[in-house]
Amino acid sequence: MRKQLKTIAIIGGGPSGCALATLLNRKKFKVGVFYLEKRPEIIVGESLVPAIIPMLRELGVEDEVKSYSTYKPGASVWVNKDEEATSPFSYGGGNLPHYAYNVPRKDFDKTIFDLAVREGVQFFPQIAKIEKTGKGDELKLSDETIAGINDFFGGQPDLIVDASGRSRTISRLLDIPTKTGYRKDVALFSHMSGTEKIEPFNIHLHRLEKGWCWRIPLPGRTSVGIVINPEHLKKYGATKEEQFDNYLKSEETLKKFTSAGKRETGVVQYDNYQLISQQLYGSNWVITGDAGGFLDPIFSSGLFLAIKGAFRLSRFIDDGSNPDYKTYQKEQLHELVVWQKLVDTWYSGRLFTLFKVGQDRLDTAFGRFIGPHMQKHLTRIFSGEAVYKPFSRRFLNFVTGSMIDIMKVVGLHKRNIKDLEIK
Ligand SMILES: Cc1cc2nc3c(=O)[nH]c(=O)nc-3n(C[C@H](O)[C@H](O)[C@H](O)COP(=O)(O)OP(=O)(O)OC[C@H]3O[C@@H](n4cnc5c(N)ncnc54)[C@H](O)[C@@H]3O)c2cc1C
């Protein structure tokens, strides 16, 4: 039997840490959050999915988020520079709102942070240092850290939550085994002005000759990100800025949409992001948000999963007596596995194949029958709903798997379509 929890230290003042702090504070725990005041110039994670909206409403911040964001009614996917398929979220039907937002990330983080402050959570602008106590996998805040917060918890906190994002504080300290994804891409991203206008403000995802890119319309700016194998990038320059700028100038699709644009920020690089810790809890600690795992930028699942993880963890901590972290871990890891399957359909090219097959077959009886179903369930990938609807998952499995295989064998479609995998 674990000790009844009363005091909780959260490492990291990003969206998962702040959302969790608010939820636990509402349950009357004594919560302290360690955060770093200095933030990078720009941060990825600007495209939200409709599935996050109910949680923003429950936190009470949707109106504030709306006030500085672009209203996003759908997602557009480009198979190449001239072939595009748009999925308004309304095509997905279901219970989710038919919209989401593209958010300037600093504003979004501030909203979730300010909410926690307003509701009475205590914040400490310092790095939390943690150490092993020597008793099993038990951890503690260092003496220096405790001194820096004037002994806020009255000794050690009952629970330490790692919400430190890519710093992965606890996983690193304890050398927790990880599962890494098979893609070794890097993402380079920047904010630009003067690029081709995007209206309505859908996220645009482009399959490129090499890699893929996003264009996210923000107020007055477009966020442009390239996701690509680092081997391809080498020939575009020595620095990330040179690589980003030169790739934009030489890649046909990017040239088309960004040639009149100007880079307004530095270029930020992310790599090794497909990383999932295989253990999310120990005797007096638990991990949430990106600190526990992140899949891939495609389909914009990151912030949704980070905040959903916070909601889930707060439900498990509940009144502080005997939280069932084992089940929490199982649910968190299972969710990532399910999303991973969708992510795979992007990189294997199966989604694009489906798009091409769909175009060929729309005028047949089979096409007329299956077309509306495809539209609905494919849209649910972009809204975040596909993962939670078993029928959608099975349907998508079938159409991106067996159905395409059968079509290839019997040669039903007119063109010789090959899977357009992301190189
Ligand atoms: C290339 C790329 C593109 C992405 N695009 C999207 C997208 O379009 N949409 C989307 O929803 N998601 C996207 N994501 C994912 C999204 O950015 C993350 O899922 C999200 O930021 C996770 O939130 P978090 O609170 O868990 O971690 P973070 O946002 O990383 O917050 C963690 C915080 O903890 C702080 N911290 C770290 N260590 C310490 C310490 N020891 N003491 C105190 N503070 C500490 C950090 O400074 C940071 O502020 C993308 C990710 C990548 C890599």
What confidence category does residue 362 fall into, taking pLDDT thresholds of 50, 70 and 90? low
pLDDT digits (tens, 9 = 90+) for 156-179: 999 999 999 999 999 999 999 999
pLDDT digits (tens, 9 = 90+) for 329-356: 999 999 999 999 899 999 999 888 887 7
365 and 317 belong to one structural domain: no
Alpha carbon of 343 to ligand 1 centroid (Å) = 19
Please choose, from the candidates 42, 7, 45, 46, the residue with its C-alpha nearest in 3D space to the C-alpha of residue 27. Answer: 7
Is the CB of 203 within 6 Å of ligand 1?
Answer: no
Is the CB of 336 within 6 Å of ligand 1?
Answer: no
Q: Of 338, 366, 389, which residue sits at a domain end?
A: 338
158 and 218 belong to one structural domain: no
230 and 365 belong to one structural domain: no
Nearest CA to ligand 1 atom 35: 12
Alpha carbon of 166 to ligand 1 centroid (Å) = 6
Is the CB of 287 within 6 Å of ligand 1?
Answer: no
By mean pLDDT, which of 82-96, 209-223, 228-242, 366-380 is the weakest?
366-380
pLDDT digits (tens, 9 = 90+) for 36-78: 999 899 999 999 999 999 999 999 999 999 999 999 999 999 9
CATH number assigned to the domain comprising residue 129: 3.50.50.60
Does some domain include residue 172? Answer: yes
pLDDT digits (tens, 9 = 90+) for 76-120: 999 888 888 899 999 999 899 999 999 999 999 999 999 999 999
Arithmetic mean of pLDDT over the chain: 93
Q: What is the pTM of this model?
A: 0.95
Alpha carbon of 303 to ligand 1 centroid (Å) = 8
Q: Which domain holds residue 225?
A: 186-271
pLDDT digits (tens, 9 = 90+) for 275-303: 999 999 999 999 999 999 999 999 999 99
260 and 395 belong to one structural domain: no
Residue 354 makes CB contacts below 8 A (sequence gap 6+) with: 374, 378, 399, 400, 404
Q: What integer pLDDT is reported at residue 321 of this predicted model?
A: 94
Is the CB of 296 within 6 Å of ligand 1?
Answer: no
pLDDT digits (tens, 9 = 90+) for 375-397: 898 899 999 998 888 898 898 88
Does some domain include residue 89? Answer: no
What confidence category does residue 235 fall into, taking pLDDT thresholds of 50, 70 and 90? very high
16 and 163 belong to one structural domain: yes
175 and 190 belong to one structural domain: no
62 and 174 belong to one structural domain: yes
Measured N-to-C along each axis, helices 365-383 and 350-361 cross at an angle, to the nearest 10 degrees, of 150
Does some domain include residue 127? Answer: yes
Confidence check: pLDDT of 415 > 90: no
Q: Name the token pair of 94.
A: 């279901």
162 and 229 belong to one structural domain: no
The Cα–Cα gap between 97 and 90 comes to 8
Helix (H) / strand (E) containing 180? strand 178-180
Q: Which of 16, 70, 227, 312 to mutate to test the pocket of ligand 1 (most atoms within 8 A of CB)?
A: 16
Confidence check: pLDDT of 413 > 60: no
Q: Of 221, 244, 271, which residue sits at a domain end?
A: 271
**Strand 70-72 to 100-102 pairing:** antiparallel
Alpha carbon of 289 to ligand 1 centroid (Å) = 8
Tally the domains of the chain.
3
What confidence category does residue 268 fall into, taking pLDDT thresholds of 50, 70 and 90? very high
